[in-house]
Structure 1
Amino acid sequence: MTITVSNLQPIIAILAGILILIAPRLLNYIVAVYLIVVGLIGLGVLRHFS
């Protein structure tokens, strides 16, 4: 099975949701890191993950 971004997004969302439930202060950092990574993938900077 090949792991692509479309396969990882649901897993990342579940893990982020669990982390936010455990420690709500992590919400800002989780959202910021997610947006930066998605932006870099969208621009093609991280071509390995696209």
Structure 2
Amino acid sequence: MVLHISLVPVLSIVAGVVILARPKFLAYVVAIYLIAIGVIDILNIRF
């Protein structure tokens, strides 16, 4: 069985878990998420 996982949903889940565990890091998590999505889109990376 082959399982294909996209990067964006995985990043979303990780960000959600970190926000639940450490609410004070919300700004950092959002910033890292936005930077990662921007880099992925600029470099046209497909996972």
Aligned pair count? 45
**Greater percentage in helix:** 1
What are the ranges of 5 or more consecutive residues in structure 2 without an aligned counterpart? none
RMSD: 2.1
Q: Which residue of 2 aligns with 1:43?
A: 42
Measured in 1, the distance between the counterparts of 2:16 and 2:30 equals 11
What are the ranges of 5 or more consecutive residues in structure 1 without an aligned counterpart? none
How far off its partner does 1:3 sit?
5.3
TM-score (norm 2): 0.66
Q: Which residue of 1 aligns with 2:29?
A: 30
TM-score (norm 1): 0.64
Ranges of 4+ aligned residues in structure 1 off by more than 6 Å: none
